[in-house]
Amino acid sequence: MTFKPAEWPRKLRSQHWYGGNSRDTIYHRGWLKNQGYPHDLFDGRPVIGILNTWSDLTPCNGHLRELAEKVKAGIWEAGGFPVEVPVFSASENTFRPTAMMYRNLAAMAVEEAMRGQPIDGAVLMVGCDKTTPSLLMAAASTDIPSIVVTGGPMLNGWFRGERIGSGTHLWKFSEAVKAGEMTQDEFLEAEQAMSRSSGTCNTMGTASTMASMAEALGMALSGNAAIPAVDSRRRVMAQMTGRRIVQMVKDDLKPSDIMTKEAFENAIRCNGAIGGSTNAVVHLLAMAGRTGVELTLDDWDRCGRDVATIVNLMPSGKYLMEEFFYAGGLPVVLKHLGEAGLLHKNALTVSGDTIWDEVKDAKNWNEDVILPVEKALTQQGGIAVLKGNLAPLGAVLKPSAASPHLMQHRGRAVVFEDIDDYKARINDDALDIDETCIMVMKNCGPKGYPGMAEVGNMGLPPKVLKKGITDMVRISDARMSGTAYGTVVLHTSPEAARGGPLAIVRSGDWIELDVPNRRLHLDLSDEEIAARLAEWKNPVEPPASGYARMFHEHVEGADTGADFDFLKGCRGSEVGRDSH
């Protein structure tokens, strides 16, 4: 893509607040001077908002206040004026009922923080799962020049001589305790070993995936995704990001120049190559919806289908983000995609150069971590998009995290009406279930939970685990943590709480999963499905009031990204009326 930088100098939007000597200007400028800023800082230089998702209750981003100082240093060096702005921080490990319920709220709040304040450019300081997409959604809707810098992953977890990964081993160890293979005391001992340093989850979970998506989209400097949070090079990256945003503002290099259809296709293919999280599906669809780029679930299947998963990281593989960084990180993966003809090489990045310029000289320093394609974890990585009478609008499954022997499977349904029903019955040895059954859970989608929680990787019944079985087919309208694994069908759409066919599945029905043929079929006649739907009553009551009510009324389905209907599209950055 050819990008033509704007003329510089020119009047920036911050000058609507700080330019001239009117009463209103003196009001805006004078009050800010109470922080001791000299008058010449208001001379029309780029004002850069450092939108910081730091919070004590978002531990994955707990170090971002300190990292922001390096961003500020870079902005000062490049002749900009940095202002740090705390923004809504939706922590994955804190928010209830699920952080996903607050992604759109955060995106809305950040969008207004960008548009309503004197910000010419933005550094998006993110890390934990939802913080990355929410800020990118906001940037896409305002189209103000923006650049991502993530906090970086935690160092490797180690326990009794073995790597242990965030989330992935939480699920493994909890199943081991249920199966009687690990004691509760050992589990507690492992707890601290999982989180050895500041940073985001060290697996290729959703945070690492979304950091990789930001880089593959071209919205972060090359190499950003994998640098560990505590590595000095993370601080260098922050400073370079601060320097770069100032020039982006001068050039008027905007998200709409970067987040093109080609960029989204690059990101989808990259997700297949890294064995990335299924959560990237809803987040990229939502981000595309903000830019006006037409992106659908079918694009996920089309672009990702023939991408080999070459990054040998948990949950699909063996290593963790620290080793991915030492092996060369994401530039190596993008270079591989380029050489395989799977990258739009001319896609523009925040650097002002193309993505190919950024990655063409990358080197792989460890071929056990970033595998040669002939040794890939799976030749068909990507995200499989399944359709059929059980998922007319689609459902997703991550082949690299699934069991090959279950990719074509017909089984008897064991149905849980919601998460509470699942929790109440799953440990009961009288439950009529074995490893050939298909576990089905309803009412965990965007409207149903509410918020579409990461509960789709339902733990197996203890009586099955005790046989040494570690995977069964599971189907729901929920999401799954990016750190989780298994033959798990997710995001089934329409969701049960919207009257999708999932709502009428009963225990004892038979279901066919056929991943190679992308099929998810309920073995019932059309007439029987229609008759059951006709007598179906929605068990999910709309919340009475508040944000939950707004969420319920406006959230769209997972198949289009679960954004709010009224937030789609780019609204630009036009300055509104002054208040004085």
- Provide the binding-site residues for ligand FES, judged by CB under 6 A: 60, 92-93, 128-129, 166, 200-201, 205, 207
Shortest spacing between CB 171 and ligand FES, in angstroms = 13
What does each C-alpha distance from 202 to 89, 262, 378, 483 come to in angstroms? 20, 28, 21, 9
Least Å distance between CB 200 and ligand FES?
A: 4
SS3 track for 269-289: HHHHHHCCCCHHHHHHHHHHH
Of the two residues 78 and 207, which places its CB atom closer to ligand FES in the complex?
A: 207
Count of beta carbons in the 10 Å neighbourhood of residue 419: 20
Q: What is the DSSP letter of 128?
A: S
Give the residue among 127, 115, 121 at the shortest CA–CA distance from 89: 127
Query: Of the candidates 350, 4, 286, 1, which has an alpha carbon nearest to the alpha carbon of residue 147?
Result: 350
Nearer to ligand FES, 131 or 222 (CB): 131
- Looking at the Cβ atoms of 60 and 397, the one nearer to ligand FES is 60
Distance between CA 37 and CA 26 in Å, rounded?
A: 14
Distance CA 165, CA 162 (A): 10
Q: Which residues pair with 354 in a beta bridge?
A: 348
Shortest distance, position 478 Cβ to ligand FES, whole Å? 17
| CA–CA separation, 459 and 484 (whole Å) | 11
Task: Determine how many CB atoms are found less than 10 A away from the CB of residue 361.
Answer: 8
Give the nearest distance from C-beta 313 to ligand FES in angstroms: 14
Give the shortest CB-279-to-ligand FES separation in angstroms.
Answer: 11
Residue 60 Cβ, how far from ligand FES at the closest point, in Å? 3
Q: Residue 282's closest CA among 402, 475, 407, 137? A: 137
Euclidean distance between CA atoms 367 and 364, whole angstroms: 7
At its nearest, how many Å lie between ligand FES and the CB of residue 92?
A: 4
Whichever of 53 and 266 has its CB closer to ligand FES, that residue is: 53
Nearer to ligand FES, 227 or 362 (CB): 227
Nearer to ligand FES, 62 or 382 (CB): 62
User: With 0-12 CB in 10 A as exposed, 13-18 as middle and 19+ as buried, what is 133?
Assistant: buried
Alpha helices in 195-231 (DSSP H): 206-217
Quote the least distance from Cβ 67 to ligand FES, whole Å. 15
Closest to ligand FES by CB, 132 vs 266, is: 132
Task: Please report how close the Cβ of residue 129 comes to ligand FES at its closest, in angstroms.
Answer: 5
Cα gap 537→558, rounded to integer Å:
21
Q: Which residue number, 126 or 138, has a Cβ lying nearer to ligand FES?
A: 126
The first and second tokens of residue 516, run together, are 């190679």
**Cβ 409 to ligand FES shortest distance, Å:** 30
Output 154 or 464, the one with its CB closest to ligand FES: 154
Quote the CA–CA distance of 51 and 68 in Å, as a whole number.
Answer: 9
Q: Where are the alpha helices (DSSP H) in 448-575?
A: 462-465, 526-535, 546-554
Q: Which is nearer to ligand FES, 53 or 291 (CB)?
A: 53
Q: Give the CA count within 13 Å in the CB-facing half-sphere of 361.
A: 3
